[in-house]
């Protein structure tokens, strides 16, 4: 298996991280908030019809993302094209991005469901989206650092 170019490997690792991160966050959301806490509703009457359709598409994409991301990572690793720091950057960008998208588009625009069915939902919304922004910032910081010392990281990895 021939190795791709340097930039190809870097972007490959970043995307593998994004896919895995998005998928894992979606799975955490489903397992913890849907199944264990039962905070989220499977469906509530405020859900828009277009929301149901986009929910199906999003759900499918999440499921594929987690599996595709995982196999991309082991494939990159097998072909010595894995840039670990980029995986981590992508992972945090993916988790944070999903959390923020879920908290704004899914919860507020499409009204798929709310975080919890209580009188004052604002603190929950703030905590939810702040977590998303926080994770995104971690991802961005790692990415900036990786850009500064990216080359070194790759050779460390190859050794």
- Cβ 158 vs Cβ 83: under 8 Å: no
- Cβ 8 vs Cβ 83: under 8 Å: no
Q: Whole-number minimum distance, CB 27 to another protein, in Å?
A: 9
CB closer to another protein out of 63 and 101:
63
Residue 145 lies near another protein (rule: CB under 8 A): no
DSSP annotation string for 95-110:
HHHHHHHIIIIIIIIS
Q: Whole-number minimum distance, CB 148 to another protein, in Å?
A: 32
Q: Whole-number minimum distance, CB 61 to another protein, in Å?
A: 7
CB closer to another protein out of 14 and 72:
72
- Cβ 107 vs Cβ 46: under 8 Å: no
Residue 1 lies near another protein (rule: CB under 8 A): yes
How far apart (Å, rounded) are the C-alpha atoms in residues 113 and 25?
17
- The site for another protein, by CB under 8 A, has a size of 22
Non-local (6+) Cβ contacts of 37 within 8 A are none
- Note the residues at the interface with another protein (CB under 8 A): 1, 42-43, 47, 52-53, 55-57, 59-61, 63-64, 67-68, 70-71, 74-75, 78-79
């Amino acid at each position: 298996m021939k190795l791709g170019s340097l930039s190809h490997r870097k972007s490959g690792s970043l995307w593998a991280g994004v896919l895995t991160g998005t998928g894992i966050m979606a799975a955490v959301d489903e397992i913890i908030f849907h199944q264990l806490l039962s905070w989220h509703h499977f469906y509530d009457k405020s859900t828009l019809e277009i929301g149901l359709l986009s929910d199906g598409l999003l759900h499918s994409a999440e499921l594929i993302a987690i599996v595709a991301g995982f196999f991309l990572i082991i494939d990159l690793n097998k072909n010595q094209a894995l840039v670990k720091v980029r995986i981590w950057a992508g992972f945090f960008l993916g988790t944070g991005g999903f959390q923020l998208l879920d908290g704004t588009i899914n919860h507020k625009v499409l009204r798929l469901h709310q975080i919890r069915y209580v009188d004052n939902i604002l603190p929950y919304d703030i905590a939810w989206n702040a977590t998303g922004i926080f994770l995104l910032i971690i991802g961005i910081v790692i990415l900036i650092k990786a850009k500064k010392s990216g080359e070194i990281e790759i050779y460390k990895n190859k050794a």
